[in-house]
Amino acid sequence: MTGGYCMIMHYTVNRIPVGVLGASGYAGRELCSLIAGHPRFSLAFATANEQRGQSVRLNGQIVTFVASDDADLSSAALVFCALPHGASLPWVERAREAGAKVVDLSSDLRPGHGAPRVPYGMPELGAEARQAIRGATVVANPGCYPTSILLALVPLIRADLVRAEATIVANSASGVTGAGNSPKRELLFAEVAEDFRAYGVGNTHRHLTEMRATVAAFGSHADLVFTPHLLPVARGILSTITVPLTDPLGDAVAFYRDAYAGEPFIQVSDTPPSLRDVAHRNVVALSATMLAGTRQPTLLVTSAIDNLMKGASGQALQNANLMCGLDECTGLPE
């Protein structure tokens, strides 16, 4: 019988043990779910200090949280570190000392944050970036907003299409899982439903650091304006990005299709993507169009991701696949 056949297959392949530090948050749970469905990874441990001892069902698998100090780091070939920003670095080091590779989901090791440089885990930045991830022992997993914005900008910068002295304007809107699951009054249902608001206004959001550093690394000196917003949805990020160009793009959609030819997790479409298109999928959906009625050539790019998938846990697993010599797509819904 097929069902049994499938199950047998799952147990006959050798599985690589991976651990999750900080497994009770939204990203951590998503990671455990993805690992539960991954054909080559198995979950060595999942830590959650506050909820230690508790069991949850994630993607058909019962996961019991342990305290971080009780996790045997050496039992994992690779550790996902999904701890809060600032708390991550010591655990990355401990995991390294225990011999595990690390994908760090915090911002601590990302470009521009001053820590010792490790590869930035955004394979679609190009062959060099992907190669660096493959060979890395530690990878800094990108922020959710930067994932949705940088993959829209980098092809333009690389093709020298962004006007000098330009101001790039990125407006993003995120579902509330992006703000974590610690109880805060402003995140209560009765506060968020039927509301919409900007936050981190005035270019004050932490994610600007890695965006500026990455944009600069690719040679652009454009001003970057970034304003995030809080949406009354659980998951998803939509970024709407205005880019002053040196020259009009004849076919903006074709430009992105060319730029990302062969990339399994980037989907370029003729019409603007919506959150619904990317929910529970590890993809960036992109579309672009020249703006009508402007004197200077200006491009509008829209970009959608699931903040918990390509914006966090899915991309982390994609990086882990590369670091473990597996096919990059293993266990990831396209």
The catalytic site residues sit at 144
CA distances from 58 to 32, 37, 233, 271, 311 (A): 7, 10, 21, 34, 19
Contact 297, 247 (CB under 8 A): yes
Cα–Cα distance, 3 to 239 (Å, whole number): 41
Cα–Cα distance, 185 to 131 (Å, whole number): 44
Residue number, 138 or 272, with CB nearest to a second copy = 272
Cα–Cα distance, 73 to 100 (Å, whole number): 7
Cα–Cα distance, 151 to 284 (Å, whole number): 8
Residue number, 74 or 203, with CB nearest to a second copy = 203
CA nearest to 84, candidates 173, 174, 206: 206
Q: Nearest distance from residue 136's CB to a second copy, in Å?
A: 19
Q: Nearest distance from residue 229's CB to a second copy, in Å?
A: 7
CA nearest to 320, candidates 13, 2, 38, 3: 38
Residue number, 95 or 284, with CB nearest to a second copy = 284
Q: Nearest distance from residue 131's CB to a second copy, in Å?
A: 16
CA nearest to 330, candidates 310, 312, 311, 314: 314
Amino acid in the structure at residue 237: I
Q: Residue 37: phi, psi to the nearest 5?
A: -100, 5
Cα Rg, the chain, nearest whole Å: 20
- In the 8-state DSSP scheme, what is residue 314? H
Residue number, 96 or 113, with CB nearest to a second copy = 113
CA 127 from chain center: how many Å?
18
Residue number, 72 or 195, with CB nearest to a second copy = 195
Residue number, 98 or 209, with CB nearest to a second copy = 209
Q: Nearest distance from residue 97's CB to a second copy, in Å?
A: 29
Q: Nearest distance from residue 250's CB to a second copy, in Å?
A: 14
Partners of residue 239 on adjacent β-strands: 172, 303
Contact 120, 111 (CB under 8 A): yes
Q: Nearest distance from residue 198's CB to a second copy, in Å?
A: 5
